[in-house]
Amino acid sequence: MDRRSFLAGAASAPPLALLAACTTAAVPGAVPASIAGTVGTTPTAGAAAATGVLSDAQVAAAVARLDDLIQKAMADTGVPGLSIAVVHDDKVLYAKGFGVKQVGTSDRVDENTVFQVASVSKSVGATGVASAVGDAKMAWSDPVVSHLPSFALADPYVTQHVSIADLYSHRSGLPEHAGDHLEDLGYDRAEVLARLRLESLDPFRITYHYTNFGMTAAAEAVATAAGTSWEALLKSRIYDPLGMTSTSSTFADFDGRPNKATGNMLTDGVWRPTTEQRQPDAQSAAGGVSSSAVDMAKWMRMVLADGSFEGRQVVKPEALAPVLTPQITSSPPRTFGGRPGFYGLGFNVGTDDAGKVRFSHSGAFTLGTGTAFTLVPADGLGMIVLTNGTPLGVAESLIASFLDLAQTGTLTADWLGRYRPIFEEMLANPSALAGKTRPANVRAAQPATAYVGSFSNDYYGPANVAENGDGSLVLKLGPKPLEFPLAHWDGDVFTYSPPGENGFDIAAVTFTVAAAGQASSVVVENLDKTGLGTFTRT
């Protein structure tokens, strides 16, 4: 989840208790820290039988039911396209594509179709960092500023001590999704990272907040220490050694693939091609990888083999070990007997109902991507699911269903039926005006001249309010100003539709009008989660 923090751990452990315990509204910055921490409080039926190492026959029986599971999930949700791979004991048992690459076309998905993997990029990237660490290019414990001197956070102590590992485990104290709205407005990677210093911090190393650009800063430090770019580092250290010829960390490469699946969104119950294909280069380390099921199967085999692939040690085990070790509690247990959720370095680390360790991550672009993988090292088992639609829990539920079948021989729950409401809640607009109708007795707005003018904000940059020829207002935000029509709501409150991955259909724009009859400031609701959304007249 690129944009939704609880997606970080959606597949990290058996999801039954997730459904019992997940009660926090899923909105940007106000969601469960990860689904990982809400699992495990209720045992799955049949868990007593799910002990020991799975046999080939158990895994094969589960694989034999995948086609039917996938077709049912696609029929139930309408998700346009899906590609999936299963590995077991260093072999690819299943790799297949279903559906279409874009709604309204007949171009079929296959096992080599390239999808954007969203936040699964974090796990892929962490293995690239581990490869560089293993070759002594840097250490996980290195302070970021030792390689990226320009990096700064609000607290000078944290600036000097925050390490690559701190940022890869989301324990810097930066607020959830810090910087994401800057990206939506068009700021590039360097500018977003420079502005993180203006975000207030929560306690260092004891606070888990899922933060794309914090991890991106760590990746930039790693690439600088290695004398290359982040994108080139992953290509040389992971993609090329594994033969992942369809995988890249740049949007241009994805966009140029002839065999690619593009984003589709479910709006008003209808699937439509996205009008704004997600372009994640600014946070490439956190969400910029594109790959196929076949390529991701190679990567899963490497991780399950302690960094080895077909006789070659791609990542040294001692450098990979911290990646797959709990570094922070991402979500405490929510009941007395519950299991906590942990985050390693770019991976969720948890245990299932049989006590087996699982490594996992989910990824989501609301602009049209839902992905997940889970690895069960005790069984040498891994599964990746890539979809090209608004995340509805399809990827996570297929993994849960498959592992359920492999461990117990039966489906103990309707996993899609349990996941989907959580994802639908996640997609709900957090605006105070969402779903509301205008007041019955609307207060008139001030004359347009009261609102027109320039407003400043150190974090988001300038905002300009201008009057159109017809007397309506337009709000301009971003480095290459994006223009947003303002619609009057009530009194000095207007509304607009925010842009990008974190945008919704409506957010409030509230002016404070001074006695002199001019707006002295304006608060943009969706930009104000951490109190930085006030623009002051210049």
Question: In sequence order, what are the residues at sequence separation of 6 or more whose Cβ sits closer than 8 angstroms to the Cβ of residue 228?
Answer: 236
Beta strands in 332-421 (DSSP E): 341-343, 348-351, 357-365, 369-376, 381-387
With left for phi above 0 and alpha for psi between -120 and 50, is residue 478 left, alpha or beta? left
Closest by CA position to 150, among listed 141, 159, 142: 159
How do the domains of the chain map onto residue ranges?
5-267+289-426, 448-537
Whether the pLDDT of residue 354 is over 90: the answer is: no
Q: CA-based angle 276:277:280, to the nearest 5?
A: 115
pLDDT tens profile 201-221: 999 999 999 999 999 999 999
Whether the pLDDT of residue 35 is over 70: the answer is: no
Whether the pLDDT of residue 2 is over 60: the answer is: no
Whether the pLDDT of residue 21 is over 60: the answer is: no
Whether the pLDDT of residue 28 is over 80: the answer is: no
Beta strands in 111-251 (DSSP E): 115-116
Q: What average pLDDT does this structure show over 58-71? A: 98
Closest by CA position to 95, among listed 301, 324, 328: 301
Model pLDDT, residue 516: 81
End-to-end CA distance of the chain: 37
Model pLDDT, residue 515: 80
Predicted confidence band of residue 339 (pLDDT cuts 50, 70, 90): confident
Strand 357-365: give its sheet, edge to edge. Answer: 91-99, 81-88, 381-387, 369-376, 357-365, 348-351, 341-343, 328-331
Residue type, 393: G
| Domain pair 5-267+289-426 / 448-537, same fold | no
Tell me the two tokens of residue 87: 């590995």
Whether the pLDDT of residue 14 is over 90: the answer is: no
CB neighbourhood size of 108 (10 A): 12
Does domain 448-537 fall into CATH 2.40.70.10? no
Most confident by average pLDDT, 7-16, 41-50, 298-307: 298-307
Q: What average pLDDT does this structure show over 517-534? A: 97
Whether the pLDDT of residue 25 is over 90: the answer is: no
Proportion of the chain above pLDDT 70, given as a percent:
90
Tokens 């992942």, located at residue: 244
Q: CA-based angle 271:276:277, to the nearest 5?
A: 85
Whether the pLDDT of residue 158 is over 80: the answer is: yes
pLDDT tens profile 249-297: 999 999 999 999 999 999 889 999 999 899 999 999 999 999 999 999 9
Predicted confidence band of residue 69 (pLDDT cuts 50, 70, 90): very high
Query: 3-state class of 184 per DSSP?
Result: helix
Class (C level, CATH) for 5-267+289-426: alpha beta
Whether the pLDDT of residue 434 is over 80: the answer is: yes
Comparing 479 with 340, which gets the higher pLDDT? 479
